[in-house]
Amino acid sequence: MSGLKTDYIDLFQLHNPGSMPDPEDPDGAYQALLDAKREGLVRHIGLTNHRLDLAMKAVTSGLFETVQFPLSSLSSANDLALVAACKELDVGFIAMKAMSGGLITNAASTFAFLRQYGNVVPIWGIQRISELEEFIAFEKNPPEMDQAMTAVIEKDRLELAGAFCRGCGYCMPCPAGIPIPLAARMSFLLRRSPYRGFMTAQWHEQMERIDACQHCGQCIRQCPYSLDTPEILKTMLSDYRAFHAEHAPTC
């Protein structure tokens, strides 16, 4: 551990395995983590996943002390059942993509939403000092769920919930060179974040790659949300072209 400058790791998470690790496999990752725990090198063992069924198995298996799973104010009732199961079984819940990969723009509403669940520790995905300051201010004066917050969340859910790309990147690399995690969210990014960076010649060329999709099916097979990604990309390209024609600088 000298490279890490620590004698032990507080929480070692198995990151997004495709199936539950076999705790009996003497050469498996879980046994290695148990050995590391016995030696005092690791204090707690956790698992991260984007698949609800696998995350639920991890919670009920008794093998993990924490589970990290995407959770935000857009999450469904099924996702929230995982939070309840964690509470009941005393498993820590770490919320990844708490701002849904940048698509949620009202930090106060998602903060207030997640604060209702006392057993959830969110990872906010802060990118700017101003955002960090905003969240520190929320910790001091937590916004509460009221009618205004509920209205913001309902609006976001109407616009975003359902078959939208979370930007996780598990479908990559695309053989056609399409930057799927951004391209498949382009309509939202154009309207929910500064759009000028997407109006460049480079981004235009990258979006046009969607037309060269080889329909290999890899993105569909690897998407934890079972999205029809090529169809989503087609819609995004059509919208991008219209937006670009209207907003791209002409000189």
Tell me the closest approach of the beta carbon of residue 178 to ligand SF4, in angstroms.
Answer: 5
Where in 110-160 does DSSP place strands (E)? 120-122
Tell me the closest approach of the beta carbon of residue 16 to ligand SF4, in angstroms.
Answer: 11
221-230: which pairs have CB atoms within 8 A and are 24 or more residues apart? Answer: 222/170, 222/171, 223/170, 223/171, 224/49, 224/50, 224/51, 224/168, 224/170, 225/50, 225/163, 225/165, 225/166, 227/163, 227/165, 227/184, 228/163, 229/165, 229/171, 229/180, 229/184
Tell me the closest approach of the beta carbon of residue 212 to ligand SF4, in angstroms.
Answer: 8
| Contact status, residue 161 vs residue 212, Cβ threshold 8 Å | no
Please state the separation of Cα 159 from the chain's center in Å: 17
Closest alpha carbon to 191 in 148, 143, 246: 246
The amino acid occupying position 220 is I
CB closer to ligand SF4, 42 vs 103: 103
CB closer to ligand SF4, 45 vs 233: 233
CB closer to ligand SF4, 115 vs 204: 204
Contacts to ligand SF4 by CB under 6 A: 165-171, 174-176, 178, 180-181, 184, 213-219, 222-223, 225, 227, 229-230, 233
CB closer to ligand SF4, 12 vs 164: 164
Tell me the closest approach of the beta carbon of residue 4 to ligand SF4, in angstroms.
Answer: 29
Tell me the closest approach of the beta carbon of residue 186 to ligand SF4, in angstroms.
Answer: 12
| Contact status, residue 68 vs residue 100, Cβ threshold 8 Å | no
Count of alpha carbons within 13 angstroms of residue 186, beta-carbon side: 29
CB closer to ligand SF4, 112 vs 190: 190
User: What DSSP element (H or E) covers 55?
Assistant: helix 52-61
Tell me the closest approach of the beta carbon of residue 126 to ligand SF4, in angstroms.
Answer: 21
CB closer to ligand SF4, 83 vs 174: 174
